[in-house]
Amino acid sequence: MTGFDASPYAALSAVMFFIGVGGVILRRNPLIMLMSIELMFNAANLALVAFSRAWVNNAGHVFVFLVVTVAAAEAAIALAIVVALFRRSTNVDVDEVARLRG
Amino acid sequence: MILFWILSVVLVASAVFTVSQKSPVYSVVGLLINFLALAAFYFTLDAEFLAVIQIVIYSGAILMLFVFVIALLSSGIGPFREGPNRMPRAFVPAVAVVALFLGLVVYGIARGPLVPTPHQPTSTIGAAGNANVFGSIADFGVALFTTYLLPFEVTAFILMVAVIGVVLIAGDAVPQPTLGHHAAPKRKRRRESIVKSR
């Protein structure tokens, strides 16, 4: 179908992505930083779906599926790290996690 | 088009709400609204299957993970502390940098309409709910299991690695080695876990 303009979706995706970037930069609560990362994932997904619709090509849909999977894995591991940090000390502060050695 | 504006206002407002809340629980609520609005966007973009995936996996699984971790961390001891802000004057530079890059991206988008280059579409646009139209489950599944089979398999591997990693990182204690007849005599072989229990 011609006449589909993906620009508004791309602009909206950019706005959402940079809200997520701002969240990661400005917040220091690790949970909210992780949620900001999820926001960025979803902004990328929105752009992918919009362009996929514009090109009428389902490669973007498959890519969104893969991104969702990677986001799930990332959230699980990051939350596990948060739980592990919280067991060491009740102070969950990303500034104090300067030494993350194996 | 009016639906687009309503949904985009909801999307941006809930994103800002998510980022700006003090308590993570409110952030989760904002993120939930954000994901639901995004699922509505996927419906308007003819991606029915992805909309359902968005609701089931993101709103159902990932957000529940966040909620459980918040409940785990703040049970019994109250909300956790964040500590003093080490960079109190970083707000204005951070906002400036973010606004600068956002302006660059929006400028690049607004320079011209994003016109698709001529190519052969992989599917046809049709009424939602029919098989083999763009975005339907059949269309998605055929693409996933034929053209993109290898990335799909790699996805399975990634999930397995994630599961093992989570158990290693957040697992409570290292299990004692079972003493079989071939087991070496008791050496001091206590692996140091990443997490000291208690």
What pLDDT does B118 receive? 66
What pLDDT does B196 receive? 46
ipTM, two decimals: 0.88
Mean pLDDT of B77-105: 72
Residues of A whose CB is below 8 A from B148: 59, 62
Global pTM reads 0.81
**CATH tag for A7-92 (out of 1.20.1090.10, 1.10.760.10, 3.30.230.10, 1.10.287.3510):** 1.10.287.3510
Residues of B whose CB is below 8 A from A19: 12, 15-16, 19
Phi, psi of B76 (to 5 degrees): 85, -30
What is the spatial distance between Cα B87 and Cα B80, in angstroms, rounded to a whole number? 20
Q: Which of B27, B10, B29 is nearest to B19 (CA)?
A: B27
Nearest CA in chain B to A22: B98
Are the beta carbons of A55 and B16 separated by less than 8 Å? Answer: no
Assess whether pLDDT exceeds 50 at residue B198: no
Residues of B whose CB is below 8 A from A89: none
What pLDDT does A66 receive? 94
SS3 B23: coil
Tell which CATH architecture fits domain B1-76: Up-down Bundle (1.20)
- Across chain A, which has 102 residues, the per-10-residue mean pLDDT values are 75 91 84 92 94 86 93 92 76 62 52
Model pLDDT for residues B148-196, shown as the tens digit of each residue: 999 999 999 999 999 999 998 887 655 555 555 554 545 444 444 444 4
Residue in B27, B166, B198 closest to A76 by CB: B166
Nearest CA in chain B to A24: B19
Q: For chain B, give every domain's residue range.
A: 1-76
Q: For chain A, give every domain's residue range.
A: 7-92
What is the spatial distance between Cα A40 and Cα A18, in angstroms, rounded to a whole number? 8
Are the beta carbons of A68 and B123 separated by less than 8 Å? Answer: no
**pLDDT: is B31 or B125 the higher one?**
B31
Distance from CA of B100 to the nearest CA of A (A): 10
